[in-house]
Each structure stands twice: as C-alpha cells, then as structure tokens.
Amino acid sequence: MKKIDRYIFFNFLSTFFFCLILLTVIIVVVDLSEHTDDFAKSGLSVWQIVTQYYFGFIPRIDAMLFPLFVFIAVIFFTSKMAGRSEVIAILSSGVSYKRFMFPFIAGGLILAGLLWVGYQYVIPKANKIWGEFDKRYVEVNKGRYSTNSNSYKEHIYFKLDNSSYVGIRSYDTVSKNGSGFFVQKFKDKKLIYNLRAGSFNWDTAQKKWNLRFVTERNFQEISETVTQHDKLLMNYNFKPVDLGKDEYLKEQMSTPELNEFIRVEKMRGSESMNSILVERYNRDAIPFSVLILTVIGVSLASRKVRGGSGIHLALGVFLCVAYILLSRISIVFATKGNFSPWMAAWLPNLLFTLIAFYLYKKAPK
C-alpha cells in the first residue's frame, strides 16, 4: 500500500468503527429505556442482564445494521474527501478511478469477511442468548408467553426416510410424552408396514423412544401379520429437539449445524424448507452486500456537489431503504409462495450490483 492508500484505508475503517460504536450506544440506550420495567421485574443483577441479554442483543442488532453502518461510513468519509478537493487532487495526479477505489475495496473485503464469519458462527449464538432471555422474561411480562404455552404440539407429520412416514397426534416438549404415534412404510406405492402406539415417551437412559400399547402390521400380497406389544423401544432418526423446534431455531444454529438440519429436513419433506433455505443463503448474501454498498457509496460521494455530505447521505439512505424493502419482499414471496429461496436471498444483490456498476462507470465523468 502507498501512503494515500493507507490514509484512505485506515480512515475508512476508523470511520466505520466510530459509526458502529456510536449508533450501537444509541440503540442500546433506546432499548434500555423500553425494557426497564422488564429488567426490573426479572430480578436480575446488572451483570446478569448484560451477559444474558445484551451479549445476545448487541451482536444481533449490529449484524442487521452492519451494511448500513458501512454505507454511512463510506458516504461520510468520501464526501469529506470530496469536499476538501482531495479526490480531485488524487485523480489529477494521474491515479485512475479504479486505482482510487482499491483501498475502499480492500476495506470492504475485510468488513465483508468479518460479517460473514459472524453470520456463520457468532450471530447464531447471540440469537440463542437473546431468544432465551426474551422468552423467559420479556414475553412473560407482556402476557404472551409462559414456560408451557408453546410446549404442546399437535398433528405432527414428517418423512422418516425415503419410504417411511411418521405421524403424531400430540406431544409435550417439556415432559417428552406424546400420544397417537404411527409409522407407515411403503414400497412401490403400496403399504407394507404399519406401526401404531397409544402413547410414547423419550427414554433418556437408552436414548430411544419408548412406545406403549403397540400394534405392528406387516402386509404381504394377500395376507398380513399382526404383532402386539405392551412396550417397545425403537431407535428412530429423530429426537425430542426435532419435535420441539420453533420457527426461530434455524437462526440459532451455526452454519455447519444448519447444513445438517437442511439435509434432514429435505429428507423429511419439511413444509418450512423455503424459510430454512432463505436463512442459509442470506448468511452468504448479506456479507456480499457490504462490497456492493461500498462501491455505491464511493461512486456517489466522490463527486463534489453543493450541499456537501447531506445530499449524499439522503440518497444513500434512500438506496438502503430500497435494498431492505426489496429483500423483505423477495423473502416473503419465497416463504409464502413458490419463489426460489436462492433468488430471494441474492436478488437484491444482483440488482444493486447493476446499480453499483452504472454509478462506478459514471463517477469518473
């Protein structure tokens, strides 16, 4: 790096981290004012609130706003350079606009990599910390949640393997007891095996399912074999955690865990497959948006205009809002309709890449 590269690179990163810390403090103060009653009713010490809530809340909210923080930092620093005629001086010295962009791209790559690692491993842990606190203390105080309100599940159906299906009439995730359990196995579209149990529970010692009042039927071409059991231990490829999962579970898994979860859910033919895939693809797409917004920010703010950085910031905020709105709409179409999950995650990036390319080509002129 040359001296001018180091100047741009370190000022870009220092401006970003200043914006990150400043806006995080503001967000925490606002959140603290909103949840003061919840914290008081929880009976927790200040240290417990910090470790059990804000250790989850801060990484979660920073990850959501990370691309916006980067964009604000780029706009603010570059517009200041343009206002002091530093950009004109750099380009007039024979430096190409492409070369001028180099330290910004280098900084954007570092920040995108930081966000990518966060989404793969750090943010899921933060989501788990925040979610547990929210359910245990915040939602209870608002009367929307109790420890048993979401424990009772009814009418659970899923695919056990390529030829077998499981059905459960009811299941309590706290006691790990259920009723109305059945397994059906097919071959060449014909039912060849049927198991039904009046009740069942998870045996923690054996790590197996304990079925009671069991009837097994094996079907042949013109006959069937019926076997009765008072109790039967079975080792199926699902555990209590699979029956107790909620819609936020996917956000609390690290990427390796999420990949394995996707593999199992695909085999079972899960109805929520699209929302799970959107979560997985977003973990790669959102960090990539940091690079796109960096290019857009430099291309917009490197031109000296009347009004200074205010115009750049206003246009930048408009573009960010458009990006977020497009992202939300595409996700809704993917989870509620037949839109491709990959396309839902990457469509905003693809469209804003075209905008970034246009602004980049136009900026030197």
Instruction: Identify the residue whose tokens are 């009713």.
Output: 41
Confidence band of 138 (pLDDT split at 50, 70, 90): low
154/288: higher pLDDT:
288
Confidence band of 120 (pLDDT split at 50, 70, 90): very high
Distance CA 22, CA 356 (A): 27
352/152: higher pLDDT:
352
CB 217 within 8 A of CB 182: no
Work out the number of other CB atoms within 10 angstroms of the CB of residue 74: 30
Looking at residue 307, its pLDDT comes to: 56
38/149: higher pLDDT:
38
Q: Is residue 341's pLDDT more than 70? A: yes
DSSP count for the chain of H helices, then E strands: 13, 6
311/102: higher pLDDT:
102
The mean predicted confidence, pLDDT, of the chain is: 86
Q: Is residue 145's pLDDT more than 50? A: no
**Pairing status of strand 190-203 against strand 152-159:** unpaired
Q: Quick one: which H or E segment has residue 181?
A: strand 177-187
Looking at residue 141, its pLDDT comes to: 53
Distance CA 32, CA 358 (A): 42
Distance CA 53, CA 118 (A): 18
Strand order across the 177-187 sheet: 152-159, 164-172, 177-187, 190-203, 208-219, 224-234
Looking at residue 326, its pLDDT comes to: 87
Q: Is residue 247's pLDDT more than 90? A: no
Looking at residue 209, its pLDDT comes to: 95
Count of residues making up the chain: 365
Of the candidate ranges 57-61, 184-188, 260-264, the one whose mean pLDDT is the lowest: 260-264
Q: What pTM was estimated for this model as a whole? A: 0.78
Q: CA 312, 314, 316: angle at the middle one, nearest 5?
A: 65
Distance CA 200, CA 198 (A): 7
Taking only the tens place, the pLDDT of each residue in 152-205 is: 788 888 888 888 899 999 998 878 899 999 999 998 889 999 999 999 999 989
